[in-house]
């Protein structure tokens, strides 16, 4: 099977990943869809690294560690400067300095790999290209090995959870806000407490997901539970006043707002017909008063008199 082409036209993405795993291949699987790009790094069939670029934005591991609060901005700046001088990857320095343990860093890498997998599983189609012996992070010694079959199963499970969460959180653009008193007094998990602290009535869901450090799926999951237990509510970004204005628009003008091409053309023709009808009656009335009727041909005279009577 050629490891280059279009999915799912040439091959299903799941079949492609299983083939790389069973053949114990090493290299990088590059995936593209419109302006989005993702990559999964493999070693002997196991996924060891990943990245994704959404709308031109690339979230590096150091950026994620700062946003998630796992490493302070000052410490990360210090480690980044040291990395440039010593040519040692930032993640290696974080482990050497005891800021993160190797186990913690491996768990973070697995988490980021799963996030990328979750995202590409939502792509209905795209292009793929497997480059043998290529590497994503060539100089990093901290790696996690993940069975792609596990990633697929977890990704499918999460896809099944999305409809339930989407029923309460319609999009990334909505704004949640805290209630003064929760409806159900339950003990929240550390993950839910972190998400709740980020809910301030101004941040959109997508901003909370970026700052939470637990990923988009886990953020939605925490928000869904907070809504179900009455800790927060969702406020749509669109203002209520706009909706009210839409409700009182005159029915005769609704198709103009919808920019219905057929409706607009039809209304123009109707206006012309009404204008012509009125103008023609006035013309006939004046024409008759001027006694020009005898000079019209007999058939035209009959038609004109018939229209006038109407």
- What is the band of 99 on the pLDDT scale with cuts at 50, 70, 90? very high
Q: What's the rounded mean pLDDT across residues 158-185?
A: 88
Mean pLDDT in the chain? 79
pLDDT at 273: 57
Q: What is the DSSP string of 135-171?
A: -SSTT------B-HHHHHHHHHHHHHHHHHHHTT---
pLDDT at 299 over 80: no
Q: What's the rounded mean pLDDT across residues 58-79?
A: 85
pLDDT at 210: 85
Based on its alpha-carbon atoms, the radius of gyration of the chain, rounded to whole angstroms, reads: 33
Closest CA to 165 of 113, 213, 222: 222
Contact 71, 100 (CB under 8 A): yes
Question: Which residues neighbour 4 within 8 Å (Cβ) at sequence distance 6 or greater?
Answer: 128, 129, 130
Q: What's the rounded mean pLDDT across residues 109-137?
A: 90
- What is the band of 54 on the pLDDT scale with cuts at 50, 70, 90? confident
pLDDT at 25: 94
Greater confidence (247 vs 37) lies with 37
Closest CA to 205 of 177, 243, 244, 186: 177
pLDDT at 184: 78
pLDDT at 212: 87
- pLDDT tens-digit map of 33-53: 988 999 999 999 999 999 988
């Amino acid at each position: 099977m050629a490891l280059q082409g279009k999915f799912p036209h040439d091959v299903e993405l799941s079949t492609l990943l299983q083939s790389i795993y069973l053949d114990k291949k090493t290299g990088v699987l590059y995936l593209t869809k419109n302006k989005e790009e993702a990559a999964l790094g493999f070693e002997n069939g196991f996924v060891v690294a990943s990245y994704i670029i959404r709308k031109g934005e690339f979230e590096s591991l150091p950026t994620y560690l700062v946003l998630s609060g796992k490493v302070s901005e000052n410490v990360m700046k210090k480690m980044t400067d040291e990395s440039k001088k010593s040519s040692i990857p930032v993640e290696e320095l974080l482990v050497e300095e005891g800021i993160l343990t190797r186990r913690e860093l491996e768990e973070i890498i697995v988490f980021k790999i799963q996030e990328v997998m979750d995202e590409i599983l939502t792509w209905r189609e795209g292009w793929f290209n497997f480059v043998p012996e290529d590497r994503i992070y060539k100089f990093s010694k901290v790696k996690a090995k993940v069975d792609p079959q596990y990633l697929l199963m977890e990704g499918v499970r999460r896809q099944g959870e999305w409809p339930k969460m989407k029923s309460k959180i319609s999009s990334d653009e909505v704004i949640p806000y805290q209630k003064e008193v929760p409806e159900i007094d339950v003990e929240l998990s550390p993950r839910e407490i972190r998400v709740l602290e980020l809910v301030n009535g101004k941040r959109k869901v997508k901003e909370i997901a970026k700052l939470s450090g637990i990923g988009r799926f886990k953020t939605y999951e925490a928000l869904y539970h907070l809504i179900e237990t009455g800790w927060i509510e969702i406020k749509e970004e669109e203002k209520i006043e706009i909706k009210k204005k839409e409700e009182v628009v005159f029915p005769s003008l609704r198709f103009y707002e919808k920019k219905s091409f057929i409706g607009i053309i039809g209304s123009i023709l109707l206006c012309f017909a009404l204008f012509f009808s009125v103008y023609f009656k006035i013309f006939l009335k004046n024409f008759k008063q001027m006694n020009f009727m005898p000079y019209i041909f007999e058939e035209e005279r009959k038609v004109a008199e018939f229209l006038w009577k109407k």
